[in-house]
Structure 1
Amino acid sequence: MDADAQGQEFDRPSAALAQLAEAWGIATGYWSFFGDWVEVPATTLRAVLRAMDVEATTEADVEASLAATETAPWLELLPPSLVVQAGSGEVVVNVADHHDVSVAVALEDGSWRDVGIPDQAPASRVVDGARVWGVRVPLPADLPLGWHTLHAWQKRHGSGEIDREAACALVVSPAHLPLPPGRPGYGGRSWGLMAQLYSARSRRSWGMGDFADLGDLAAVAGSEGADFLLINPIHAAEVTSPIEPSPYLPATRRFLAPLYLRPEDIREAAYLAPDERALVDAARATVSRSNTDPSRIDRDAAWSAKRAALEVIHAAPRSPGRQRSLDAFLERQGAPLADFALWCALEEHYAATLPPGEERPAEAWDIGSSLVSGLRIQLAERVAFHSWLQWIAEEQVAAAQAAAQDAGMRIGLMHDLAVGVHRRGSDAWSLRDMYAAGITVGAPADMYNQQGQDWSQPPWLPKALEREAYRPLRDMIRNLLRHAGALRVDHIIGFFRLWWIPTGLGANAGTYVRYDHEAMIGVLALEAHRAGAVVIGEDLGNVEPWVREYLSARGILGTSVLWFEYEGDGPKPPEHYRRALLATVNTHDLPPTAGYLAGDHVDLRERLGLLTQPVEEARAEAQRERDTMLAVLRERGLIGEDATEQQIIEALHLHLTAAESVLLGVSLVDTVGERRVQNQPGTDTQYPNWQVPLADSAGAPVLIEDLAANERFTSLTGAVDGALRRIARDRGLA
């Protein structure tokens, strides 16, 4: 009998409970990061099933739920939705005994295609005393890519009378996405800049980087030869204080953060009356001085100032053409935008009317309640304001992408898609039925987090996604790619499985829940294909080997970080990296390379009490890692014995250019010598995560206007650009 760490008897699930869990995609065991097989206790399985609205309290409940689960598919004529790869796929139509069936596809262009029913000996099952036949119907191999509708009609033998019909979404996705477009002369490869947008400020910023700065940074990088600019997620956060600093814990992933707007760049701002313009200038003056403060980004102050200015601009009249553009945007975005804007208005309403610490009425958390319906009318002006903000945000992101392309970038903006959303945010509120109640996602224990991780985000319910034909996923991706050339998907393993943690059990007491990766990757691929965009999956960590092979087969690039890549007892040679890859020296969860080389990460973890080993031992390990890497650089002739910090950082990037990987990322922090980490995993308030403005090695602020003349910036970007072109020439690929 197994026992847990406290010596208690292991809560082993019954065979029926384990079977029920597996039927719902819930893992009853898994391989840990450390190579051990871990069995999942019954308590966890029951809690996860409960979150899926599957009754499993008693063994009688389990038996009843298992029977219902096995029967449920046979009760439906068609599945809830169907996602297939182009040129393949079939649908199982469940037809009653003594009936025929006909099937057709309504294409999204309005035309129809009949689907033939082949001769076969279908499987069958007796349901409620009647036999049902599972007829397998191959789909036409020449169906076009797109969002179609599959129809089925059940007809009585002999009479042909239709007594049942059904329809479901049919998504046909590309089997494979093409590799990214390389700039001529680079041998099919590209490099780009990676930046935390909020940290990249200019003299015209409002205390933090914004969409205007995004366009300027893209133009600077493009002029140096970069083909893309990867930025942190710019999903919308709170509209009241305190604003969550982490871009990976947004209120919604479907809409953009007005926090990044540049008020003066709105067309109507140019026609303000002098007194109105004075109000805008006065608002900016309250935060503009902080543009040169290297200590900390203050999102709350920036938003307070911007909101005051934006309200003035919103009240200004729009030309007929501008109004028509706004109206068309609102119509295109429809109910999802109206619901998000209402959430913003409700947040403001309760922040202004409730005493600190007092909870809003329970009905306020139900979008369908009469209370919310009444507030939708009462707060109509604020709903209109927040809807307008999204129109402006889309305009400004479009301008930034245009600036990137004008500077010669083949890809341009590369957005980052967060894993999930805040449990009290807009998506969790307006799409409440899509999320599992009483569950958060995270990760089991690994060498860096021995207690596991809880990311405080509710997971999507797999069955709800299927029922909604994955439209929430589609809309999210479609909005992000409307004005971008690429999408990085953080923790893309979440499209395959997520670590679910029942509330109160602790991060290590969770288990994996499987998702229909064929469907989710199919939707991602279709939307990327339609946008002409590249997709990069962050596939680091504890990943099943077949997953990387599957993603590569679908044309989705992987991710490699130099410090994480090992082969045998030493660093993996870049020549052994995958081709379909975004390769980087570091990542936002590591210190900038200058800080890493100096061992700042060990000092910081010691100061914050995060070390799980003696500090001398941690420092020695870090020193050995650096010495090993420096030895590799010396063996390749990339540095001498007395190389400076700047020379080592450039050498690490030149070392990476030897990889065949189609994309190479260069962190903005590495181009200026910044040493401070943007995010220290395992901390909350102990460290200013996601609030560190861009500075150089001496701690002086670095502004976007100064990059083109910054010696370290031009030296590193020039070295990477020159190396890629030289390698292409040497290989006869230029």
Structure 2
Amino acid sequence: MTGARTDELARLAELHGVAVSYRPAPDRTVTVPDSAVVAALHALGVDATTPEAVRAALADRERALRERLLPPTVVHWAGDPHDPAAVTALPPGTRVRVETEEGEESYRVSAPLVAGLPLGVHRVTATAPDGRTAHAHLVVAPDRLPAPPGRSYGLLVQLYSLLSRRSWGMGDLGDLAELAGWAGRVAGAGFVQVNPLHSAVPGAPTDPSPYRPSSRRFPDPVHLRVEDVPEYAYAEDRERLAGLLERAARLRAAVLDKGALIDRDAVWELKREALETVLAVPLGPGRRAAYDAFRAAHGQALDDHATYYALAEIHGPDWTTWPDGLCDPRSAATARARAGLADRVAFHTRLAWLTDGQLRAAQRTAREAGMPVGIVHDLAVGVHPAGADSWAQQVVFAAGMSVGAPPDAFNARGQDWGLPPWRPDRLAACGYAPFRELLRALFRYAGALRIDHVMGLFRLWWIPQGSPPTEGTYVHYDAEAMLAVLALEAGRAGSVVIGEDLGTVEPGVRETLQRRGVLGTSVLWFERDWTGDGRPLPPERWRADCLATATTHDLPPTAARLTGDHVELRDRLGLLTRPAAEERAEAVADAAEWLALLDGLGLVDSVGPADSLGPADSLGPADSLGPVGGTATGPPGTDEEAQVRAVHRFLLRTPARLIGVWLPDGVGDRRPQNLPGTCAEYPNWRLPIADREGRAVPLEELTAAPRLRALLEVFAQLRQG
């Protein structure tokens, strides 16, 4: 469509939730290109390529909205005694039949029609006096999500970076359980937060980013501790397994002792070969019953997931290039291929079950260690366009579109994350079933869930394929329905939800999330009085309903921020957009301003770890602390260590319900795990936790490190138990 935007196009876009403009700041409005609007409408099944098509589509949409009895999904908050507006708008005399999740039916003809129903997603059929009939999904959700059980602190870590002397070259679920057990019992932590553990796109080299997975529904078996699989002890080919263990030891030593990067593909090659041997062992009757129950619980979704990975072994990971027929998961060709690959489908099904089991075991370990929350898992904002989810759930993805972010103060070119978005209309039509099933799967083993870019529950920036991020537009979702489903599933699991709400946020979003009990994310360096003088926000003015941290995986570690090392890194990589002297001066001024506030509050000390740890048993029995025993030894703490502790004392002064400690801060690591804006220039997602000199620190040394123990002493008053 060419020429000036018409009122009809703007109206059509509005009725389908497609923005024609947006406000990156209260005093600035940006008009999006017509091409982005037309492309987004096309992805929603609406033709807007000509003025005639726009007029016809607008007439159809207005007529459909005018004549429908109910929207496809209706939300009722359990604490509200009144019917939802969509129900109260039904014509007088409309007969409503409700079929609950449990299969119970009831007929209602007078208000209130839906109040008093049990929590769940029910089916509603409305029949008007004039004979019109409508079917809808009714989500009855609790008013609020579960709140954290008291105030606590926890550790933030990228699991792959947490190597022990038992792992196979990257951190695994055995390491996670070990860390959780130590952190809960010895350090009194309330949770451990990890990166997304979703299934990666198969093949080598695979994308190392945990935020661009093949599937969010099922976890990645690369995280398995192979030796913890019960059938491992009964595998017949011991010589083969011994050889794999030797190769794994060399891979591990290369990372921990020789400075090599984490090689996920090499780790998976070894584990896959070992698991082929281990999974040849028949399951005992009890294990078989548990496996069958898992298959029954996940049904078609699990079958599709395993089928994708079996097909990818033959045809490659990009399903869009597969032979005719196999691109459709419901085709006869796919059914024949699935039957012919039954052994491989079963293999990948077993892997999903084993990984789920070790994830649940890690959560049990955390809770048994006294953690009130346990493991906090991370939900990526989307999936790879050629992966398992996009193959199995094609009907709910918007073809030809990619999710990203518009230009902002941090990235003038905008961002394209290469993730296909869900279609809001298709989600509503199926009662948000894909979202419900995704959440239910994650909450099986999550004490809490962090939702990356939680603003995506409200709107996402859609970019037409082949266009730059600047030429996209926002598409809105039914946030009330998304939040209701989230509240329902989190409530059933008793799990806390944390929303990553950093950056530009649409007005009213944070308030809505807070009202429903979704915690926000507050990072120290961004907490300033942006509506006033721009100075650091004093602790008493921070919000309480949040996870407060000093940094994240996408930001410099605290020591790098305080010393300015992050500027030097970006300068070496040619990433600075201003002269290096200007960047350094700004970084020094920023750190100095925060340090002045910390010092003014009396939070900075010059006491070394040996003195700050207190009595020998302050972090637990001496023999539980590793080789250093009950008291720390070594040189007095540096100014840097005192400043890092002061930063965390500041976080403790805020009213934040949860406080997160970036685990690499406990050993002085300078390197961010991910450096946005880089690819080959920087080893994103492949770095082990290291000390200030860049030497990898295994889990066994990490938990005994005086610097970490002194840092965790800051939170002595929050210890659980």
Alpha-carbon displacement from aligned partner over 1:366-394 (angstroms, at most 9, x marks no partner): 22334323221222111110000011011
Are 2:116 and 1:142 equivalent residues in the alignment?
yes
Q: Secondary structure at the match of 2:375?
A: strand
Deviation at 1:115, TM superposition (A): 2.2
Alpha-carbon displacement from aligned partner over 1:122-173 (angstroms, at most 9, x marks no partner): xxxxxxxxxxxxxxxx5332222112221334567xxxxxx66554321101
Point out the more displaced range, 103-112 or 493-502: 103-112
**2:109 paired residue number:** 116
Describe the shift of the 1:358–1:327 C-alpha distance in structure 2 as closer, same or farther (beyond 3 A): closer
**1:121 paired residue number:** none
Q: Secondary structure at the match of 2:508?
A: helix
Q: Secondary structure at the match of 1:83?
A: strand
**1:90 paired residue number:** 84
C-alpha contact 1:558 1:582 (8 A) present in aligned 2: yes
Where in structure 2 are the equivalents of 1:338-417 lying within 5 Å?
A: 338-351=303-316, 359-361=321-323, 363-417=325-379
Are 2:546 and 1:546 equivalent residues in the alignment?
no
Q: Secondary structure at the match of 2:568?
A: helix
**2:446 paired residue number:** 484
C-alpha contact 1:557 1:580 (8 A) present in aligned 2: yes
Q: Secondary structure at the match of 2:154?
A: strand
Are 2:676 and 1:681 equivalent residues in the alignment?
yes
- What is the rounded CA distance, in whole Å, between the counterparts of 1:534 and 1:698 in structure 2? 37
C-alpha contact 1:411 1:486 (8 A) present in aligned 2: yes
C-alpha contact 1:205 1:291 (8 A) present in aligned 2: no
In the alignment, residue 278 of structure 1 is paired with which amino acid? A
- What is the rounded CA distance, in whole Å, between the counterparts of 1:328 and 1:443 in structure 2? 41
**2:614 paired residue number:** none
Are 2:337 and 1:337 equivalent residues in the alignment?
no
In the alignment, residue 214 of structure 2 is paired with which amino acid? A
Where in structure 2 are the equivalents of 1:690-729 lying within 5 Å?
A: 690-722=685-717, 724=718
Q: Secondary structure at the match of 1:255?
A: strand
**1:152 paired residue number:** 126
**2:223 paired residue number:** 260
Alpha-carbon displacement from aligned partner over 1:315-373 (angstroms, at most 9, x marks no partner): 11111111111111111110001101111111111249x9xx99543543222334323
Q: Secondary structure at the match of 1:571?
A: coil
Match of 2:602 among 607, 629, 637: 637
**1:246 paired residue number:** 209
C-alpha contact 2:169 2:255 (8 A) present in aligned 1: yes
Point out the more displaced range, 294-303 or 632-641: 632-641
- What is the rounded CA distance, in whole Å, between the counterparts of 2:291 and 2:124 in structure 1? 34
C-alpha contact 1:233 1:416 (8 A) present in aligned 2: yes
- What is the rounded CA distance, in whole Å, between the counterparts of 2:485 and 2:588 in structure 1? 45
In the alignment, residue 545 of structure 1 is paired with which amino acid? P
Identity of aligned residues (%): 47
C-alpha contact 2:101 2:122 (8 A) present in aligned 1: yes
Alpha-carbon displacement from aligned partner over 1:166-213 (angstroms, at most 9, x marks no partner): 54321101111242102xxxxxx1101100000001001010001111
Are 2:176 and 1:181 equivalent residues in the alignment?
no
- What is the rounded CA distance, in whole Å, between the counterparts of 1:644 and 1:295 in structure 2? 30
**1:133 paired residue number:** none
Alpha-carbon displacement from aligned partner over 1:616-642 (angstroms, at most 9, x marks no partner): 111111111011111111111222599
Alpha-carbon displacement from aligned partner over 1:85-136 (angstroms, at most 9, x marks no partner): 1134436479999x95311222223333332335xxxxxxxxxxxxxxxxxx
Where in structure 2 are the equivalents of 1:461-500 lying within 5 Å?
A: 461-500=423-462
Deviation at 1:275, TM superposition (A): 4.1
- What is the rounded CA distance, in whole Å, between the counterparts of 1:140 and 1:501 in structure 2? 39
Q: Secondary structure at the match of 1:402?
A: helix
- What is the rounded CA distance, in whole Å, between the counterparts of 1:549 and 1:467 in structure 2? 27
- What is the rounded CA distance, in whole Å, between the counterparts of 1:342 and 1:718 in structure 2? 49
**1:106 paired residue number:** 99
Match of 2:256 among 292, 306, 311: 292
C-alpha contact 1:449 1:682 (8 A) present in aligned 2: no
C-alpha contact 1:33 1:446 (8 A) present in aligned 2: no
In the alignment, residue 433 of structure 1 is paired with which amino acid? V
**1:661 paired residue number:** 656
- What is the rounded CA distance, in whole Å, between the counterparts of 2:394 and 2:579 in structure 1? 45
Match of 2:193 among 230, 241, 251: 230
Q: Secondary structure at the match of 1:414?
A: strand
Deviation at 1:417, TM superposition (A): 0.6
Deviation at 1:544, TM superposition (A): 2.1
Q: Secondary structure at the match of 1:104?
A: strand
Alpha-carbon displacement from aligned partner over 1:563-611 (angstroms, at most 9, x marks no partner): 0110123111111011111111111111111112222221222222221
C-alpha contact 2:254 2:260 (8 A) present in aligned 1: no
Alpha-carbon displacement from aligned partner over 1:436-476 (angstroms, at most 9, x marks no partner): 11111111111221100100111110001001110100111
Moved over 6 A (4+): 93-97
Q: Secondary structure at the match of 2:714?
A: helix
Unaligned runs of 5+ in 2: 607-636
Are 2:273 and 1:308 equivalent residues in the alignment?
yes
C-alpha contact 1:91 1:139 (8 A) present in aligned 2: no
Deviation at 1:497, TM superposition (A): 0.6
C-alpha contact 1:286 1:305 (8 A) present in aligned 2: no
- What is the rounded CA distance, in whole Å, between the counterparts of 2:270 and 2:144 in structure 1? 46
Q: Secondary structure at the match of 1:566?
A: coil
Q: Secondary structure at the match of 1:570?
A: coil
**2:11 paired residue number:** 19
Deviation at 1:74, TM superposition (A): 4.5
Deviation at 1:63, TM superposition (A): 0.4
C-alpha contact 1:238 1:244 (8 A) present in aligned 2: yes
- What is the rounded CA distance, in whole Å, between the counterparts of 1:378 and 1:563 in structure 2? 56
In the alignment, residue 675 of structure 2 is paired with which amino acid? Q
- What is the rounded CA distance, in whole Å, between the counterparts of 2:242 and 2:59 in structure 1? 70
C-alpha contact 1:103 1:153 (8 A) present in aligned 2: yes
**1:130 paired residue number:** none
Describe the shift of the 1:180–1:96 C-alpha distance in structure 2 as closer, same or farther (beyond 3 A): closer
- What is the rounded CA distance, in whole Å, between the counterparts of 1:716 and 1:655 in structure 2? 12
In the alignment, residue 43 of structure 1 is paired with which amino acid? S
**1:185 paired residue number:** none
C-alpha contact 2:201 2:384 (8 A) present in aligned 1: no
In the alignment, residue 59 of structure 2 is paired with which amino acid? A
Number of residues of Structure 1 aligned to a counterpart in Structure 2: 683
Q: Secondary structure at the match of 1:171?
A: strand
**1:59 paired residue number:** 51
C-alpha contact 1:589 1:677 (8 A) present in aligned 2: yes
- What is the rounded CA distance, in whole Å, between the counterparts of 1:487 and 1:712 in structure 2? 29
Aligned residues: CA RMSD: 2.5
